[in-house]
Every structure is written in structure tokens, then in C-alpha cells.
Structure 1
Amino acid sequence: MFHKEGQKIILITFLIVASISLLAHFFIDITWARLAIQIFALFILVMILQFFRNPKRKVIKNFDEILAPVDGKVVVIEEVEETEYFKDRRKQVSIFMSPINVHVTRYPVSGVVKYSKYHPGKYLVAWHPKASTENERTTVVIKTPKFGDILYRQIAGAMAKRIVNYAIEGDSVRQGEDGGFIKFGSRVDLFLPLDCPITVKLNQKVTGAKTCIAILKSQDDE
């Protein structure tokens, strides 16, 4: 299964690869050179298909957990000042996606979209400390039924030139559903309450809509 955001690119790539292979077959007489060109073209097609894959995942919804919004590796766990929406201290958990990861963004919690905003910006490498505030990005805040507002931010990397965001203010969303897509390398930041226990570690690999990132605490737990 491939993501809808990749349909046009996949079709164009397939046509280009097919054309290159046919031209090589008819116009290149040197066998090793012809095969090298055809294999390289096929490799590019396979890479594009892998990038836009969209595996279907059975999500066990849990209102007490924040699930990973994307596949990737945890590169930041720290307390920071969130300056766009909360304007206070939050726990930040950042997940870096390499080009070989699935790039679908999935809602980490269920609730109502309270805030959704796109910011044009730079294309610093995704792990750069300033990427969260200076790169092209979208910020989404979901109001959960029990635990207040949870913010996640899609951040473009050095290779990414387009962020797709499906979150519309006022929409009800469900944990694990597609929330967007980031093309070609990127990162997602989560900003969580300070009393929210984090359940992952630095450099841990996580799976979108499967790995628990943190456990939410309700007022009843205090």
C-alpha cells in the first residue's frame, strides 16, 4: 500500500524509468553499460516506492498514552520553553526520520484539533537545534478529553521541500489516523506536560501509532 501523497511522483518516476530502460535497450550496444543504466533506474524506482509506502497498522487506542506520531529514532528528550502556543515550559520529545523510514504522520492522541498552522522557513538539517523554530514546519495542537492540549510539530529537513498537514481546526481526530506526510527526510517534535512520564529513551527506534512515547496524567492521579 502506497500513500496518496506519492501517487503522482510514483507515476512520473515509473514513466521515466521505463523510458530510460527502453532507450538503453535500443541505443546502447555495450551490454554491461546497458544493464548498469537499467539497474540504476530500477533502483531509483524501488527507493521511491519504499519512501511512499503506507503500512496499515491496527491501532489499539489508549486515552492514557501518547503514541509515536511517526517512525524513526528519538533524538531529543528535554525540558524546553515552547514559544509558539503554550509559551511556557514543556517536555520535548523529538523523533528523526531518515529517508528509509515511513514518512506518514499519525495523530498521537484522540481529541479535537484546537490549533493548526503552517510556517514557511529554512531547510536546515532536521537534527539542527534551530530546526524546530526556523525550518519549514506545521504546528498542530489537539485538545484531549481528559488531559488538555498536546502539541506536535512536523519539521522539514534539508531534503524535505513540502509538508502535508491534514489537521483542520475544529475537526475530531482519532489516535493513529493519518495526520499528514513529510516528503524526503524530516523530524516531528512532541511538546508534553512537565508531569508527563516519558517511556522512551534517547536513540530508541519507535514505530508510528505503536510505540508509547509517554503516559498522560490526569488530575485524578495527583
Structure 2
Amino acid sequence: VLSTLFFGGAALTTGLLLVTGAAGYIANFGWLLTLTLLLLGLEIVWFFRNPNRKIPTEPGVVVSPADGTLDTIEEIEHHEYIGGPAIEIGIFLSIFNVHINRTPVAGKIIKLAYRPGKCLNALRPESTRENERLEVYLQMPEPTNRPMLVQQITGAIARRIVCRIKPGDELTRGQQFGMIKLGSRTVIVFPREPGLEILSKPGDKLLAGSTILAKYKADSESVTPAAEASDEEKA
């Protein structure tokens, strides 16, 4: 009888400890799960944020099409769409950057072109040529009719490009036209002309629609001024 009571009591005590431990584990896991979901929610809100931007109104300037870090500036002897010498600027967007894309100049959308490709890390130089992309071809208004190209490029994580414009659309400088979700790249190509001044350099932190990348000194009235962008502005 004593042995039965002893072993029975031990079993009951062990059972209570296991139940109590499990309850504590579940409670701790619940807090951990809640915290994880909260942080995830905050990250989503942070990622999709869309702050107001003051758009420069100075004639002849080219503004950044994306937030991020300017990591490459390349001179091209002949670009097919530009029709001559060009400047190519690459911008890396981390997961912490605003991912809204904005037009670098006022102009008309000529065409959109989707290019399938790889999903390499956007920090790798070859990602500019090899990754999946959407190319936005636009043309500035008269008198320059200057062509420009903006490329939305995916990365290892970012594999969805959003573009809410179509050929024929007329956009103002700094207007929202799409986004790339999570880390990615944006590339802009524009004509290299006499009097062109590059105002940003590798390593600079850029703000879409606000940071001036370059200026065509010869332009005086060829760029349509843009008002301050707002969160309600539609792409």
C-alpha cells in the first residue's frame, strides 16, 4: 500500500509539473508569437510607407527615381534607345528604404518592356544586366524631346514589380509610377550632352523625387515644374 501511495504520488506530482511546464511554455510561446506578429506588422507598415516629397522645380534637373544608395555611375558610348552617348546610374534599395518609384523628369511614357531574367542579389554588379526587370521608356516634352529610361530590377528577395502606368501617359517630374517590393535596384539612363553636370556621386543616399542626380545647364524652360507630391498622389 505504501509503495502504491508513494509511486502514485510521484506520478501525480510529475504529471502536475509537466502540465504546469507545458502551460508555461504555451504562455511564453504565445507572447513570442504575438511579439513576432507585431514586429512583422510594423515592418509591413514601414515598408509600404509613402512620405511626402518636395519636388525640385528648377529647370533642367533630373531627380532620383528611387530611394537608396547610389552605387554606380557609368558612361556609355552609345545607347540604343538614347541614340547616342549616355549616363547610367544604378541605385541599390535595401529592405529599409522606401520602395516607391518616381519619374526623374516630366515627360510622356513611350513604351514599357518586360525582360525576364535571374533573381541575383541586387548588390551584385551583374544583377543590372541579368535580373528580371521592367523598363520604362519616356520622353521629355519639347523643345528637347530628350529620351530617358528607368529600369525597375528585381533582387534575390524582391521578385514583384508594380508599375501603374501605360504608354501615352503624361507624367510630371517626381510623380509616383510604381514600386519594387523588398530589396532591389533601380537604374536610370539619360543622354550625355555638353553642359550636363552630374550632381550626385557613388555612396550618396538618395530620396526619390527630391535628390537631384544631374542638371542640363542648357535647359532654361524645357522642364515642366512639379508641385509638392503627397501621399494621396496616384501612381
Percent of aligned pairs sharing the same letter: 34
Structure 2 residue aligned with 1:98: 94
Alignment of 1:154 onto 2:149: no
* 2:198 alignment partner, SS class: coil
Structure 1 residue aligned with 2:212: 212
* 1:188 alignment partner, SS class: strand
**Relative to structure 1, is the Cα distance of residues 168 and 84 closer, same or farther in structure 2, using a 3 angstrom cutoff?**
farther
Aligned pair count reads 194
**Relative to structure 1, is the Cα distance of residues 165 and 103 closer, same or farther in structure 2, using a 3 angstrom cutoff?**
same
Structure 1 residue 170, shift from structure 2 partner: 1.4
**Matches for 1:55-134 after TM superposition, within 5 Å:** 55-80=51-76, 85-86=81-82, 88-134=84-130
Structure 1 residue 86, shift from structure 2 partner: 3.5
Q: Does the Cα contact within 8 Å between 1:68 and 1:206 map onto a contact in 2?
A: yes
1:180 aligned residue (174, 178, 181): 178
Structure 2 residue aligned with 1:201: 201
2:50 aligned residue (48, 54, 61): 54
Greater shift after overlay, 27-36 or 54-63? 27-36
Unaligned runs of 5+ in 2: 1-21, 221-235
Structure 2 distance, partners of 1:188, 1:81, is 21
**Relative to structure 1, is the Cα distance of residues 89 and 60 closer, same or farther in structure 2, using a 3 angstrom cutoff?**
closer
Q: Does the Cα contact within 8 Å between 1:141 and 1:152 map onto a contact in 2?
A: yes
**Relative to structure 1, is the Cα distance of residues 144 and 28 closer, same or farther in structure 2, using a 3 angstrom cutoff?**
farther
TM-score normalised by length of structure 2:
0.75
TM-score normalised by length of structure 1:
0.79
Unaligned runs of 5+ in 1: 1-26
Amino acid of the structure 2 residue aligned with 1:75: D
* 2:42 alignment partner, SS class: helix
* 1:170 alignment partner, SS class: coil
Structure 1 residue aligned with 2:228: none
Per-residue Cα deviation, 1:2-24 (whole angstroms, up to 9, x for no partner): xxxxxxxxxxxxxxxxxxxxxxx
Structure 1 residue 87, shift from structure 2 partner: 6.2
**Relative to structure 1, is the Cα distance of residues 81 and 158 closer, same or farther in structure 2, using a 3 angstrom cutoff?**
farther
Structure 1 distance, partners of 2:159, 2:23, is 35
Q: Does the Cα contact within 8 Å between 1:94 and 1:190 map onto a contact in 2?
A: yes
